[in-house]
Amino acid sequence: MLAIKNLNVQVLNQEILKNFNLNIQDGEIHALMGPNGVGKSTVCKAIMKSPEYEITNGTITFQDQQINHLNTDEISKLGIYYISQNPTTIEGVSNAEMLRMAMNARREEQLNIFEFNKKCNEICEKINLPKSFLHRAINDGMSGGEKKKNELLHLWMLEPKLILLDELDSGLDIDALKIVSASIMEYYQEKKPSILIITHHNQILEEIKPDWVHILKNGHIIKSGDKSLAHEIEKNGFKDYL
């Protein structure tokens, strides 16, 4: 699904990722862990081709297509969805407007408005989101928890094949985290996407169970293991890896 090879990434001329390698197969869940500021979000932003993140070496391949020369819009259309730590607010553009445009951009024929509305309503019911949210500006004036639920709406509507979850737990209380994680796992069971999840906390990995756990240090993965590695970090912190 995703192959990152020998990736170097610079932000403001500072090298953040160096010789970074990661392979995610179809339907696998990978967790990326590491202390603050080590470059975890940079991995997601490089995949999405965020403009400040300059790829100076290496390749990113998604479903056998090299994507590091594409722009964010093209990458998103291929089926990668990034839920960032702080989802962006877009004033003046409603969820429904954006989703309709995005869904039409992903298909040959224009989506029938009745079909679109039906799907919106079904998804709102499924994720327990008030239908009034469809007509609200994207993430505008929403609480931390509402923003993440709003991202779920986008996820279920756009049906990505690879999901990047960057500190999904930030801004969520324990109950909201359970609801959002459960919805992501329901999506996982139904559509079998691949998932890259970035977190400091083990708790979320009890909900979204990773096949692999990786530790990032000095710009690349220094250790990989199964879920027991996350338990070990919870017990001892990152001190053994600093």
Ligand X SMILES: Nc1ncnc2c1ncn2[C@@H]1O[C@H](COP(=O)(O)OP(=O)(O)O)[C@@H](O)[C@H]1O
Residues of the shown chain interacting with Mg ion in the complex, contacts defined by CB under 5 A: 40-41
Residue pair 49/42 in contact by the 8 Å Cβ criterion: no
Pairwise CA distance, residues 188 & 239, whole Å? 33
Residue pair 144/177 in contact by the 8 Å Cβ criterion: no
**Binding to ligand X by residue 39, rule CB under 6 A?**
yes
Pairwise CA distance, residues 165 & 107, whole Å? 25
Smallest distance, Mg ion to C-beta of residue 39, A: 8
Smallest distance, ligand X to C-beta of residue 65, A: 25
* 41 versus 150: smaller Cβ distance to ligand X: 41
* 34 versus 193: smaller Cβ distance to ligand X: 34
**Subset of 52-81 contacting ligand X (CB under 6 A):** 52
* 157 versus 215: smaller Cβ distance to ligand X: 215
Terminal CA-CA length for the chain: 31
**Binding to ligand X by residue 84, rule CB under 6 A?**
no
Taking CB under 6 A as the criterion, the residue among 41, 76, 84, 150 binding ligand X is: 41
**Subset of 2-31 contacting ligand X (CB under 6 A):** 11-12, 16
Smallest distance, ligand X to C-beta of residue 21, A: 17
Residue pair 187/195 in contact by the 8 Å Cβ criterion: no
**Binding to ligand X by residue 92, rule CB under 6 A?**
no
**Subset of 191-210 contacting ligand X (CB under 6 A):** none
Provide the token pair at 56.
Answer: 């100076």
> Which residue is listed with tokens 């979204």?
208
**Binding to ligand X by residue 88, rule CB under 6 A?**
no
Residue 120 burial (CB < 10 Å; 0-12/13-18/19+)?
buried
Q: Amino acid letter at 78?
A: L
Q: Please report, as ranges, the residues that interact with ligand X according to CB under 6 A.
A: 11-12, 16, 34, 36-42, 52
